Chains A and B, each alone.
Chain A
């Protein structure tokens, strides 16, 4: 499977990825530096004191000089220091937050695929029964209602109502302990993201399964006496998954967007929260670093999806 063609394809994609990341990084860098010089928020700074701080951070150099210094540092993994928390190196901070976001995004992806495929399969197998109707409706609700609405409703139900109902006896932990949280704390936010995307997966899985279950080879397998669940799982599902993988790319983009929003709602210390915070705090060095990492993450995720696609669909050859 790992043919020369595939390797060349991967190489091409990696180059495209690097190019895209570089492009995004540069666009954001120039966007940020097109703003008036005051990127520092200490309100007492103005006039000469402000100029001093600008000089301190090298913000009074010509933009291209700053850009060159930024690029040459970035390729070595050094994203500079924060403007707000003086002297704090950015790279370890964003790498740590990236891992937290990956944890959340990964959990959401597992829920998306796991829940979505299961629901889709069940709805297809129980086609046109009340089970199908309920599941399909839930799926429709899932993919229409925005993830942040789902998240706030979860917050309301689990964080507020549940506690009131049981008189404070039982409330779902909506805090986040330590860097990576506990499994319980991870579940609600991950579900909030995953419900939204699993709706789309369920829909496609159901349609694909319905299609596949009509095919000749499935009828043959049934005729041969293969047990129903083996027919479904081993014969039908494999082929039904192909269209699912095809939407995995945009789905991951949606999950990443969902991660950004949910991190902000549940105060999870990940890259998404840092993203919005750095913009609102004017800590633009961090903003550029976050954009760069996100672009890289998306590119890598998309490349991964394409490779999975190739593995799943034997017709795809690069």
Chain B
């Protein structure tokens, strides 16, 4: 195109003005450059850390206790893990690394004796409680003996240590205060014989039998393996754990304020002795936690989206995001990358009453008919359809690799569980063969604790049995969860919802706590499944280190699935919302990443 040439005078060469397209492109380039540098949360531009290092997130119940000896719920350990340390800890990939101990004992480094019965542990001389007291082996002895005496839910983590049963017997029937008195008086009946202090920085643990899972159990964060300060605890055994200043541990953070049912504040321990993984030292100085009612979850998600919260889902609440929420967030460009999806070590299945004749039902026992009917009911369920219908495939995934959740040791592999198949034809055949008149399966009930997603799962199961077998199963929802669990553990239901959240990464955690003679006599065996072969293989496997024990544990898995003791349903999938300026936050199958690894970028 031509245009009037400007009169440049002089020796100006007549120049053509650049075409419009070039102008447009250069404008675009300038704009792009400008947008690129102007910061908004998602841009990779800013790497400077924020001046205000305060982490803010909501939780949905007060912890019932944060005393490591007694805690048994996820919210409790997710908080305690930042305040208390064990001798070792799990890193992000669930490997065991030293914490208060200086090394992980193995046979190679002499930490474990050749017969596998004696562990020698050296303590880090720098280890200090957040009130300034130094950690000595006396504290380790006190903490572990106390945990055993209190007989909390996880005291069995220490069960392999010699003298465990004696201490539990001596302490039975006593109140916490009475136990503290005995421990302060150094009553030898309250000290496990196998736990001794070689010197003020060395502890020796003697086991009654070799134990392949013990190290993992002692490392379980926020529970009985944790080290507490005797001076503080013995003063106020009931309330020390929720009183700021008295919740004393060796972790990087300490409780500075607690308004029950409202909020909690933790602050960084000045000059903390430990090392933060991946950072020079812990960066986040304060953690503000709001305690809300679960019905407020939706509002809090909206609040997260507006930036009032940094993280959503920490504290064991990765299951709160609904399918609708997740799908919406996945469609929102700015939020999509801030959604973290993690397999959570939790499996849900249906247990048949196999071993309680008094409860009745057509599934009891090992006759061909009972087994056939169990298999029929199992094959009639479309597990893929279940995960899709109930969780949209985002909050759960079908359990196709056995009952141990994907991502944990003992997972059989995708689609390796024969019970995960869906075969309505064979199901109908089995039903016709073993219950031709329909009499045996006429009055079946499926029992579960009411709530989401159990209700939807139950509805789906009933619908499947109706459609694929022609059998009507009544749904029996118990609105009282603890009531339901009590009845279930006592073997009171013919078909019940069952599930397990793993504690530490060892198949022993599953096979020893759900089936077999030991758990049957402890009154916690839902299906009543017990078999002498199962028990003997289990006992053998428990004594071997996990890698050697694995083939034996897998044999147990095969026994259970051959016997159709369960119907596998789904693995839980956790979903977290973490803003991109929160570096180092996240979660693995077991726990939320520690606060001492988090730093907040400016935003």
User: What is the interface of chain B mostly: helix, strand, loop, or mixed?
Assistant: loop
State the total of A-B contacts with C-beta under 8 angstroms. 83
Q: A85-B62, A175-B299, A282-B482 are in contact. Are A52 and B524 (CB under 8 A)?
A: no
In whole angstroms, how far apart are the Cα atoms of A273 and B294 in the complex?
Answer: 13
Residue of B172, B293, B303 near A267 (CB, 8 A) is B293
Kindly list chain A residues whose C-beta atoms are within 8 Å of the C-beta of B303: 175
**Max count, chain B CB within 10 A of own CB: residue among A41, A51, A87, A282:** A87
- Docked-complex contact A269 and B67, CB < 8 angstroms: no
User: Which of A43, A97, A273 is within 8 Å of B481, CB to CB?
Assistant: A43
- Pair B172/A48 contact, Cβ less than 8 Å: yes
CB atoms of B262 and A179 under 8 A apart: yes
The answer on a CB contact under 8 Å between B241 and A87 is yes
Whether the Cβ atoms of B262 and A41 lie closer than 8 Å is no
**Contact between chains at B261 and A84 (CB < 8 Å):** no
Question: Contact check: which of A44, A49, A86, A97 meets B238 at CB < 8 Å?
Answer: A86
Q: Is the CB of A267 within 8 A of B242?
A: no
CB < 8 Å: which of B67, B174, B262, B489 contacts A86? B67
* Interface residues as binary, A163-183 with B (CB distance below 8 Å gives 1, 0 otherwise): 000000000001100110000
The reply to whether the CB of B43 lies closer than 8 angstroms to some CB of chain A is no
Which chain A residue shows the least CB distance to B175? A56
- Interface bin, chain A: 20 to 34
B85 within 8 A of A: no
Residues of A within 8 A of B401 (CB): none
Assess the B242–A87 pair: CB atoms within 8 A: yes
* B262 touching A269, Cβ below 8 Å: yes
Query: What is the 8 Å Cβ interface bit string for chain A, positions 43-87, against chain B (1 contact, 0 not)?
Result: 111111101100110000000000000000000000001001111
A57 to chain B, nearest CB (A): 9
A44 and B153 contact, Cβ closer than 8 Å, known pairs A93-B260, A267-B296: yes
Is residue B398 contacting chain A, with contact meaning CB distance below 8 A? no
Q: Does A88 contact B (CB under 8 A)?
A: yes
User: Does residue A42 face the partner (Cβ distance < 8 Å to B)?
Assistant: yes
Chain A residues, Cβ within 8 Å of B166:
none
A residues in contact with B238, CB < 8 Å: 81, 86-87
From B524, which residue of chain A is reached at the shortest CB distance?
A46
Interface flag for B70 (CB, 8 Å): yes
The residue of chain A having its C-beta at the shortest distance from the C-beta of B155 within the complex is: A49
Contact present for A56 and B293 (CB under 8 Å): no
A52 touches B523 (CB 8 A): no
**Contact call A86/B70, Cβ cutoff below 8 A:** yes
User: Which residue of the partner chain, among B486, B522, B523, contacts A43 with CB atoms under 8 Å?
Assistant: B486
The interface residues of chain A lying within 8 Å CB-to-CB of B239 are 87-89
A43/B241 contact (C-beta < 8 A), A56-B176, A93-B260, A269-B262 known: no
Q: Inside 8 A of B261's CB, which chain A residues have their CB? A: 93, 97, 269, 274
B115 to chain A, nearest CB (A): 32
Task: For A267, list chain B residues within 8 Å (CB).
Answer: 292-293, 295-296
Closest chain B residue to A84, Cβ basis: B64
Contacting residues, chain B, for A179 (C-beta < 8 A): 259, 262
Which chain A residues lie closer than 8 Å to B481 at the CB level?
41, 43
Question: Which residues on B sit within 8 Å (CB–CB) of A85?
Answer: 62-65, 242, 260
Among A43, A56, A96, which residue has its beta carbon within 8 angstroms of that of B482? A43
Inter-chain contact A42/B64, CB cutoff 8 Å? yes
Q: How far is the CB of A169 from chain B (nearest CB, A)?
A: 12
Find chain A residues with CB under 8 A from B482 CB: 38, 41-43, 282
Give the shortest distance, in Å, between A267 (CB) and chain B (any CB). Answer: 4
Which residues from B are CB-within-8-Å of A45? Answer: 153
Tell whether, in the assembled complex, residue B64 and residue A175 are in contact, meaning their CB atoms are under 8 Å apart.
Answer: no
Interface check B310, CB cutoff 8 A = no
Cα of A25 to Cα of B239 in the assembled complex, Å:
26
How far apart are B12's CB and chain A's nearest CB, in angstroms? 55
Tell me which residues from 257 to 296 in chain B have a Cβ below 8 Å from any Cβ of chain A: 259-262, 292-293, 295-296
For A41, A88, A179, A273, the residue with the greatest tally of chain B CB atoms inside 10 Å of its CB is A88
Contact present for B153 and A46 (CB under 8 Å): no
B173 on interface, CB distance cutoff 8 Å: yes
Query: A43-B485, A44-B72, A175-B299 in contact; A52/B65 too (CB < 8 A)?
Result: no
Asked if A46 meets B299 with Cβ closer than 8 Å, knowing A86-B65, A93-B260, the reply is no
| B151 within 8 Å of A (CB atoms) | yes
Give the residues in chain B near A46, CB-CB below 8 Å: 486, 489-490, 523-524
How far does the Cβ of A285 sit from chain B's closest Cβ, in whole Å? 14
Contact status A55-B175, CB under 8 Å = yes
CB-nearest residue of chain A to B243: A87
Find chain B residues with CB under 8 A from A56 CB.
175-176
* Chain B residue contacts of A81, Cβ below 8 A: 238
- Separation of A312 and B575 alpha carbons in the complex (Å): 61
Question: Binary interface profile of B, 67-80, with partner A (CB < 8 Å = 1, else 0)?
Answer: 10010110000000
Q: Which residues of B contact A44 (CB under 8 A)?
A: 72, 153, 524
Given the complex of chains A and B, what is the CA–CA distance between A179 and B70 in angstroms?
29
A174 contact from B241, B262, B299, B489, Cβ within 8 A: B299
CB distance from B129 to the nearest CB of A (A): 20
Give the chain A neighbours of B262 by CB distance below 8 A.
178-179, 269
Can you list, as one digit per residue, whether each of B478-499 has a CB less than 8 Å from chain A (1) or not (0)? 0001100110011000000000
Q: Is the CB of A42 within 8 A of B153?
A: yes
- A42: which B residues are within 8 A, CB to CB? 64, 72-73, 153, 482
Residue in B173, B241, B295 whose beta carbon sits within 8 Å of that of A52 in the complex: B173
Query: Which residues does chain A contribute within 8 Å of B490, judged by CB atoms?
Result: 46
B42 to chain A, nearest CB (A): 19
Measured in the bound complex, the distance between the Cα atoms of B176 and A48 in whole Å is 15
CB-CB under 8 A from B63, the residues of chain A are: 85
Q: Assuming the A-B contacts A43-B482, A86-B67, A87-B238, are A52 and B151 also in contact, with contact meaning beta carbons closer than 8 angstroms in the complex?
A: yes
Complex Cα spacing A41 to B73, Å: 12
Contact with A along B159-174 (1 / 0, CB 8 A): 0000000000000111
B153: nearest chain-A partner, CB-CB: A44
Interface string of B233-252 (1 = CB under 8 A from A): 00000110110000000000
Please name all residues of chain B whose beta carbon is closer than 8 Å to the beta carbon of A97 when the two chains form the complex.
261
- B171-229 at interface with A (beta carbon < 8 Å): 172-176
A47 touches B299 (CB 8 A): no
In the bound complex, residues from chain B placing their C-beta under 8 Å from that of A178 are 262
Q: Complex Cα distance A86/B63, Å?
A: 9
Contact call B523/A49, Cβ cutoff below 8 A: no
Closest residue on chain A to residue B296 by CB atoms: A267
Contact between B65 and A47 (Cβ–Cβ < 8 Å)?
A: no
A258 smallest CB distance to B (angstroms): 18
Question: What separation, in Å, do the CA atoms of A20 and B241 have in the docked complex?
Answer: 37
Closest B residue to A43 by beta carbon equals: B485
- List, in ascending order, chain A residues with CB within 8 A of B67's CB: 86
Q: Which of A44, A178, A267, A273 has the most CB of B within 10 A?
A: A44
Specify which chain A residues have a CB less than 8 angstroms from the CB of B70 in the assembled complex: 86
Determine the chain B residues whose CB is within 8 A of the CB of A52 once the complex forms. 151, 172-174
Q: Indicate with 1 or 0, residue by residue over B33-68, a CB within 8 angstroms of chain A CB atoms.
A: 000000000000000000000000000001111010
Given known contacts A88-B239, A179-B259, what 17 new A-B pairs fall within 8 Å (CB)? A41-B482, A42-B72, A42-B153, A42-B482, A46-B486, A46-B524, A48-B151, A51-B173, A52-B172, A84-B64, A86-B238, A87-B65, A87-B242, A89-B239, A174-B299, A267-B296, A269-B262
20 A-B contacts (beta carbon < 8 Å): A38-B486, A41-B482, A42-B73, A46-B490, A49-B153, A51-B173, A52-B151, A55-B175, A56-B175, A84-B64, A85-B63, A86-B64, A87-B238, A87-B239, A88-B239, A89-B239, A93-B261, A175-B299, A269-B261, A273-B293
Give me the 4 closest cross-chain CB pairs, A-B, nearest first. Answer: A87-B238, A43-B485, A267-B293, A87-B239
Residues of A within 8 A of B (CB): 38, 41-49, 51-52, 55-56, 81, 84-89, 93, 96-97, 174-175, 178-179, 267, 269, 273-274, 282
